[in-house]
Amino acid sequence: MTSRTGSAPRIDLHTHSTASDGTLTPAELVRAGAEAGLDVLAITDHDTTAGWAPAVRALPPGLLLVRGAELSCRWAGTQSATPLHLLAYLFDPEHPELVAELARVRAAREERGERIVDLLRADGIDVSWPDILTGAAGGTVGRPHIAQALIRAGLVADTRAAFGPDWLGERYRLPKEDIDVFRAVRLVRAAGGVAVFAHPRATRRGRVVPDELIAELAAAGLAGLEADHEDHSPAERAHVRSLAAELDLLVTGSSDFHGTHKTVQLGAFTTGVEAYERIVAAGVTEVASA
């Protein structure tokens, strides 16, 4: 594989659009990917494939699109369940079990969001659930949309502050009904997809799972680990790479781009060609091109 410029291909396998909690529409996202000099971009909205079709329709010449999703998962091996995210690539979007599970998670996420707003309003904080739904523009509703409402109300300065302990990070945080991570890996595999553990050592996000769990997931069908990510320190990236080598897992790097919700830019971290080609070879859905 060669890039459009003749240099090493630039491959970003983790981005979000307005189909979940990004600020660019799927069409704007793929155009931004081309403008950023990417050769391959993956659309991986939270628990939904709603952005796939509009992204494909707007795909600029020369940019390849990997269709995927970021699954909200949990591991119940601790006293309280540990949340984690699984990137699923090139799976059948009509696989009935996976479709049903993603629909359940989206519904639970929306119910949780409304309960959080109820808690805020009970404390005299003037945020509106209908306004938050409008701001989500039909996308999968999550805490980032509530964070934007807090910003619009002048209650916090930015998204980072909204996710602080006084707000959505602790005081107004409620548990989610996520997918058991082993079930998620099995569902992705059954749907012909490729499962990669997103930012597995990002301690700045909270608790991380032990390496022993990742070894068990690898035995269950996990294909790779995301190493190069803005929430990984250099030491954490090195640890993920070493663990991937030990378990014979592929390694990815990605921006986890959310538009203006985050400062990281498209292509800030990228995936090597060999790992990308392993994903393409293993997936059931073809990479899209204009």
Nearest to 221 by CA among 189, 254, 260, 245: 189
What does the domain layout of the chain look like in residue ranges?
A: 11-104+176-282
What is the tens place of the pLDDT at every residue in 116-135? 999 999 999 999 999 999 88
Tokens of 187: 């569902």
| Length of the chain measured in residues | 290
- 285 pLDDT more than 70: yes
- 187 pLDDT more than 90: yes
**Cα separation values, 143 from 22, 58, 112, 117, 168, Å:** 12, 28, 9, 10, 7
3-state helix, strand, coil in the chain (%, to 5): 40, 15, 45
- 42 pLDDT more than 90: yes
CATH-assigned architecture of domain 11-104+176-282: Alpha-Beta Barrel (3.20)
What is the tens place of the pLDDT at every residue in 53-89? 999 999 999 999 999 999 999 998 867 789 999 999 9
DSSP 125: -
DSSP 76: -
Instruction: State pTM to two decimals.
Output: 0.92
